[in-house]
């Protein structure tokens, strides 16, 4: 798992997961929703638990942008749709609008050059 804080803004982060299923093959049918994983945010280091992490109880949204699935035969399928329900999950009373589109950051020439230094 990779967790990048502050990506495209101080109140944003990116979470990259690699999930592997062991066992036999399963055939997945198109247009069906499947359960893949549970994402748990432990509050062990939250201020409320005596730790130093602030903001754990603030409203937040988690957005599913895409998933890359690889079959045992090497075939790859990228899923970028929201499924039948939503691509947004909210916690601590956040409004679903919190998962709205993020404005595009207009890159400057200096920013583009910095990517290659």
Q: Which element (helix H / strand E) includes 91?
A: strand 88-91
More confident residue, 102 or 75: 75
β partners of residue 4: 14
Q: Which domain holds residue 82?
A: 1-117
Mean per-residue pLDDT for 39-60? 82
User: Which pLDDT score is estimated for 4?
Assistant: 80
User: Which pLDDT score is estimated for 101?
Assistant: 65
User: Which pLDDT score is estimated for 102?
Assistant: 61
User: Which pLDDT score is estimated for 105?
Assistant: 62
Whose CA is closest to 34, among 44, 19, 49?
19
How far is CA 44 from its chain centroid?
Answer: 21
Q: Identify the band that residue 64 occupies on the pLDDT scale cut at 50, 70 and 90.
A: confident
Give the C-alpha separation, 55 to 46, whole Å. Answer: 8
Whose CA is closest to 14, among 78, 85, 66, 76?
66
Count: domains in the chain = 1
Q: Identify the band that residue 104 occupies on the pLDDT scale cut at 50, 70 and 90.
A: low
User: Which pLDDT score is estimated for 9?
Assistant: 72
Question: pTM to 2 decimals?
Answer: 0.57
């Amino acid at each position: 798992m990779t967790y990048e804080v502050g990506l495209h803004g101080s109140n944003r982060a990116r979470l990259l997961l690699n999930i592997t299923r062991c066992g036999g093959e399963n055939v997945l049918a198109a247009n069906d929703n499947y359960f893949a994983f549970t994402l748990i945010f432990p509050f062990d280091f939250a201020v409320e638990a005596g730790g130093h992490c602030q903001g754990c109880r603030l409203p937040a949204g988690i957005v599913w942008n895409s998933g890359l699935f690889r079959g045992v035969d090497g075939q790859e399928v990228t899923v970028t749709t929201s499924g039948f329900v939503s691509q947004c999950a909210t916690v601590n009373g956040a409004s679903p609008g919190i998962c709205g589109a993020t404005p595009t950051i207009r890159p400057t020439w200096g920013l583009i050059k910095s990517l290659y230094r």
